[in-house]
């Protein structure tokens, strides 16, 4: 094992420059104009996996290709098999003007590497690849067989990956899936995540007059879709921060007294948190702490709101339409289909007769929760401790990785979530960065993990 760790240490600078190459691809899955960048990024990644010594193929899907890369294995290998999942797609980089330097031109400042996708998720999945490289290039025997599955559609709901899992069920049969795509409260608090929120996305468009109208000539006689939409949206959340949709909370699993006690022990300074996010005061569902609100309670968010004239100066119109993009985060045991039906019913009820409502269904993902005391989780905790030199904590995260429930349903495997992102990484925001110490520790953690997991079986 010494050879593995000294290889990781010696090649640090090259790994960083490889991460720079990886983040240069604008692999934005949400935007059709980046289709070509998606395949170029997948090609780069597949070639990289081959250079490391992994048996690699690109699996085509109706969407973006999946990179599948396996450690060489004996024909009748009895080693335990683990799938390492990650994604090479990234969120849109807009608004560009808020980036200190362009999002796809990586910049290093101190211990941070700035670029869209550096933290979410290219830096994190590259850490696992580098650990595998260290084993393969030093001729150190890996105690586990590994298959990397790195997809290009996570940020748009992984809509083609379940089919890929079904088609490759045998090849992907494994003890557990390992994912680094979540966070930790600080470098002093490495963390194992044992729950993720689910998600339901909807887009609402209210159609008013057949074209933008002069607001002086016609205003007052026709409904204004932007106003109607604002009023409709305002009725979806009450003043206590609860989602005002009948049936929305029907299946929500209450937090146990034990879990609430654990949440209370997690490090969170409210003034520091406010400062980090740039808000004057926090807002959340009454009766719950911020830690609980952000990871264990369901929410509604408006992600985008568009209508009327957005340019410089004024334009006096009644806009023809207004649009909102919404997502709801779900917690155990909410089901996306039930929640979606409740949302649609309420939207129909609230829509005034003066506008026509169009609702587009977006992606959905189930919430996930797994035992933090399983032997896999224990191995994960030992690997985190060995790499970070600190006692790891257990946490629930508010973000979603929709495919993890499919890993369970299709492959029968739980997911071990060992995140390397920091709260100030600016995931999905301008000036995203990845901490290079987390990158290095992440590689060490991965190298330890295969030893720890093999001990378990």
Residue 393 binds ligand BES, judged by CB under 6 A: no
**Beta carbon of residue 305, minimum distance to ligand BES (angstroms, whole number):** 18
Residues sharing a CB contact under 8 Å with residue 239, sequence separation 6 or more, in sequence order: none
Asked if 6 and 140 count as a contact pair (C-beta separation under 8 A), the reply is no
| Between 355 and 422, CB nearer to ligand BES | 422
Per DSSP (E only), the strands in 110-214 are 112-114, 145-151, 176-179, 191-196, 198-207, 213-214
Nearest residue by C-beta to Zn ion?
120
When the beta carbons of 208 and 336 are compared against ligand BES, the nearer one is 336
Residue 51 and residue 115 in contact, taking contact as beta carbons nearer than 8 Å:
no
397 binds, options ligand BES, Zn ion, none, Cβ within 5 to 8 A by partner type: ligand BES
Q: By CB under 5 A, tell whether 120 contacts Zn ion.
A: yes
Q: Which of 133, 151, 154, 425 binds ligand BES (CB under 6 A)?
A: 154
Closest separation in Å from C-beta 120 to ligand BES: 5
Contact in structure between 298 and 329 (CB atoms under 8 Å): yes
Instruction: Report the C-alpha gap between 296 and 342 in whole angstroms.
Output: 20
Look at the alpha carbons of 96, 274, 323, 218 in this order and tell me if their dihedral is positive or negative: negative
Question: Rounded to whole angstroms, how far apart are CA atoms 414 and 178?
Answer: 9
Q: Does 37 engage in binding with Zn ion (CB under 5 A)?
A: no
The span of 36-44, 55-63, 150-158, 305-313 binding ligand BES (CB under 6 A) equals 150-158
Minimum distance, C-beta of residue 434 to ligand BES, in the bound complex (Å): 12
* Dihedral sign for Cα atoms in the order 371, 375, 376, 379: positive
**Both structure tokens of 120:** 């979410």
Cα–Cα distance for residue pair 364/343, rounded to 1 Å:
13
Please state, as a whole number, how many other Cβ atoms lie within 10 Å of the Cβ of residue 345: 13
Radius of gyration of the chain (CA): 23
Question: Which burial class, exposed, middle or buried, applies to 144 when counting CB atoms under 10 A from its CB (0-12, 13-18, 19+)?
Answer: buried
The entry of Zn ion, ligand BES, none that residue 435 binds, CB within 5 to 8 Å by partner kind? none
Least gap, CB of 126 to Zn ion (angstroms): 16
The torsion region of residue 434 among left (phi > 0), alpha (psi -120 to 50) and beta comes to beta
- Restricting to residues 398-437, which ones interact with ligand BES according to CB under 6 A? 399-402
Contacts of 277 (CB under 8 A, 6+ apart): none
Per partner kind, with CB cut-offs from 5 to 8 A, the member of Zn ion, ligand BES, none near residue 367 is none
Beta carbon nearer to Zn ion, 408 or 428: 428
Q: Which of Zn ion, ligand BES, none does 366 bind, CB closer than 5 to 8 A by kind?
A: none
Q: Note whether 121 binds ligand BES by CB under 6 A.
A: yes
Residue nearest to ligand BES (CB): 399
Task: State which residue, 198 or 208, has the beta carbon closest to ligand BES.
Answer: 198
End-to-end CA distance of the chain: 19
Query: What x-and-dash track marks residues 175-214 binding ligand BES by CB under 6 A?
Result: ------xxx------------x--x---------------
Binding residue for ligand BES, selected from 37, 133, 151, 155, defined by CB under 6 A: 155
Pairing mode, strands 198-207 and 433-435: unpaired
For ligand BES, the closer of residues 351 and 394 by Cβ is 394
DSSP string, 344-365: HHHHHHH--TTSEEEEEEEEEE
The nearer residue to ligand BES, 81 or 297, going by C-beta atoms, is 297
Site string for ligand BES, 250-289 (x = CB under 6 A): ----------------------------------------
Of the pair 5, 22, the CB lying nearest Zn ion is at 22
Provide, rounded to whole angstroms, the least separation between the CB of residue 38 and ligand BES: 15
Query: In terms of CB distance, is 120 or 292 closer to Zn ion?
Result: 120
Candidates 11-19, 45-53, 154-162, 219-227; binding stretch for ligand BES (CB under 6 A): 154-162
Choose among Zn ion, ligand BES, none what residue 319 binds, the Cβ cut-off being 5 to 8 Å by kind.
none
Structure tokens at 325: 């993009």
Q: Which residues are CB-neighbours of 242 under 8 A, at least 6 positions away?
A: 249, 285, 286
Is residue 336 near ligand BES by the rule CB under 6 A? no
Instruction: Return d(Cα 415, Cα 403) in angstroms, integer.
Output: 10
Q: Which does 182 bind (CB under 5 to 8 A by kind): ligand BES, Zn ion, none?
A: ligand BES
Residues constituting the chain: 457
405 binds, among ligand BES, Zn ion, none (CB under 5 to 8 A by kind): none
Using DSSP's 3-state secondary structure scheme, residue 306 falls into strand
Residues that bind ligand BES (CB under 6 A): 120-121, 154-155, 157, 181-183, 196, 199, 363, 365, 397, 399-402
């Amino acid at each position: 094992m010494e050879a593995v760790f000294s290889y990781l240490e010696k090649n640090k600078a090259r790994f960083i420059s490889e991460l720079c190459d990886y983040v240069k691809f604008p692999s934005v899955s949400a935007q059709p104009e980046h289709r070509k960048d998606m395949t170029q990024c997948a090609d780069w990644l597949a070639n990289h996996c081959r250079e490391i010594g992994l048996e690699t193929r690109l699996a085509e899907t109706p969407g973006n290709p999946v990179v599948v890369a396996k450690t060489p294995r004996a024909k009748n290998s009895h080693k335990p098999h683990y799938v390492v999942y990650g994604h090479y797609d990234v969120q849109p980089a807009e608004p560009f003007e808020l980036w200190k330097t362009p999002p796809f031109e990586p910049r290093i400042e101190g211990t941070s590497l700035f670029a869209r996708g550096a933290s979410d998720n290219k830096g994190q999945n590259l850490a696992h690849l580098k650990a595998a490289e260290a084993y393969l290039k030093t001729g150190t025997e890996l105690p586990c067989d590994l298959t990397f599955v790195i997809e290009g559609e996570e940020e748009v709901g992984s809509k083609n990956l379940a089919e890929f899992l079904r088609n490759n069920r045998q090849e992907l049969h494994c003890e557990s899936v390992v994912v680094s795509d979540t966070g930790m409260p600080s470098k002093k608090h490495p963390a194992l995540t044992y729950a993720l929120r689910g998600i339901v996305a909807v887009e609402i468009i209210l159609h008013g007059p057949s074209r933008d109208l002069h607001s002086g000539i016609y205003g007052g006689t026709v409904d204004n879709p932007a106003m109607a939409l604002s009023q409709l949206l305002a009725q979806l959340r009450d003043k206590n921060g609860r989602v005002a949709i009948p049936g929305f909370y029907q299946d929500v699993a209450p937090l146990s007294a034990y879990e609430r006690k654990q949440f209370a022990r997690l490090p969170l300074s409210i003034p520091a948190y406010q400062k980090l996010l740039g808000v004057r005061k926090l807002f959340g569902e009454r009766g719950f702490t911020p830690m609980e609100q952000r990871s264990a309670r369901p929410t509604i968010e408006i992600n985008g709101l568009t209508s009327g004239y957005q340019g410089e100066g004024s334009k006096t119109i009644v806009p023809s339409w207004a649009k909102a993009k919404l997502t709801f985060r779900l917690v155990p045991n909410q089901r996306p289909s039930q929640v979606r039906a409740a949302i649609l019913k309420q939207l129909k009820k609230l829509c005034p007769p003066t506008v026509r409502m169009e609702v587009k269904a977006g992606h959905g993902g189930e919430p996930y929760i797994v035992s933090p005391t399983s032997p896999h989780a224990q191995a994960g905790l030992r690997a985190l401790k060995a790499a970070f030199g600190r006692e790891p904590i257990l946490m629930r995260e508010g973000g979603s990785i929709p495919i993890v429930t499919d890993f369970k349903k299709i492959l029968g495997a739980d997911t071990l979530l060992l995140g390397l992102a920091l709260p100030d990484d600016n995931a999905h925001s301008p000036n995203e960065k990845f901490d290079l110490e987390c990158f290095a520790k992440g590689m060490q953690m991965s190298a330890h993990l295969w030893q720890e997991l093999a001990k378990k079986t």
